[in-house]
Structure 1
Amino acid sequence: MEPIHVPWTDVGNAPRLLLRSWQQHRTSRAPLASLVLQTVWKPGPAAQDGGPFLISLTQFTPRWITDMLTIWRTADELGDQLRQIGGAVGVMTYVQPGRRRLGSMSVWADEEGLAQFMALPDHVETMHRYRSRGLPLRSAKWWSEDFQIGSALTEGLRLLERHQERRVIVATS
């Protein structure tokens, strides 16, 4: 088994990230199982651009708890690549430990940026690796005129809770 290397920057940020996540959770009055831990937001080249924003949320539900750290690390590394794509507004990863779910939320200025990201060799290989293991994977995608990290993450998780489809795409009105 390959050793897992956790970036020291993430370890150093852990207390602050845990506190922020806990404070957000307490104000939501949601059950403890709904607690969401988020990593630091990684801004992309289009971070200062105005809306509308294309928001994409991906969620894994690993069959084996041992897959969680590897998936988190892989998502974090893919997030670093996302920041090299012109239409990327930013990315963050999240974990819902009480529901054994984790994933990422990326925000884009356009569909082309998201398509470029999905075509990256590392992204294609990662999706193939976990899909072949039968890993439940779901996603939600929608447009928004404004963007707040916490609100967008909450909206994406609610979309996946309300719909049973593997892919939830909210049409623009």
Structure 2
Amino acid sequence: MALLDLTRRGPVFAVPWRDGRDPDTDAECFVSHTVFAYDRWRDLPQIGLAARRAAQLFSRHEGSVVLAQWFLPGRRLMGDLSVWRSETHLRDFLVDPAHVELVARWRGLMHGVHHSWTAPVDRDAIWARAVPLMRSDGRPAAG
């Protein structure tokens, strides 16, 4: 687990990149970054296990390229940064029954903010673009 320092925000613990089913691509891909805020410290162990299950689902899903997960425990934030061959592949993953069940269990205990963009698969560049987004608080803006 790597440790990064986000000035004034505390350390970020990052799980190393995990390859998906299609890690070798030079094509432009769809990048999805979600920042989650969890409400209670006591939920963290179970949320961590759920994140691990989600990573396992990711790795088996068609169109998955690469995944990174990170935790900012001092602010009760965590997130995932997933790269897909296309937005359609991400959408297929989101409606996968196993993913739907995982999300349903944590709805109400966590809140997320989603960002997405397209980019070539350059892990360093994708991570650099995601770091400023980690500074959000994980809660949707009031609208």
What TM-score does the superposition give when structure 1 sets the normalisation length?
0.70
CA distance in 2, matches of 1:69, 1:152: 28
Root mean square deviation, CA, Å: 2.5
Report the identity percentage: 21
Q: Report matched runs for 1:148-159 at 5 Å.
A: 148=123, 150-159=124-133
2:77–2:138 Cα contact (<8 Å) kept = no
What is aligned with 1:89? 65
Q: Report matched runs for 1:22-101 at 5 Å.
A: 24-25=4-5, 30-31=6-7, 33-101=9-77
Where in structure 1 are there 5+ consecutive unaligned residues? 1-16, 168-173
What is aligned with 1:13? none
What is aligned with 2:105? 129
**What is the aligned counterpart of 2:117 among 132, 137, 142?**
142
Structure showing greater radius of gyration is 1
What is aligned with 2:91? 115
2:29–2:121 Cα contact (<8 Å) kept = yes
CA distance in 1, matches of 2:44, 2:100: 19
**Which structure carries more helix by proportion?**
1
Q: Which runs of 4+ in 1 moved over 3 A?
A: 159-167
Higher relative contact order (CA 8 A, sep 6+): 2
- After superposition, give the CA deviation of every residue in 1:117-173 in whole Å (9 maximum; x if it has no partner): 101112112222222x2522111111113421x542342342464799839xxxxxx
1:45–1:88 Cα contact (<8 Å) kept = yes
- After superposition, give the CA deviation of every residue in 1:72-101 in whole Å (9 maximum; x if it has no partner): 211111111111222110212210112110
What TM-score does the superposition give when structure 2 sets the normalisation length?
0.83
CA distance in 2, matches of 1:98, 1:162: 13
1:98 alignment partner, SS class: helix
Tell me how many residue pairs correspond in the alignment: 141
2:79 alignment partner, SS class: strand
Supply the AA of the counterpart residue of 1:117.
F
1:42–1:92 Cα contact (<8 Å) kept = yes
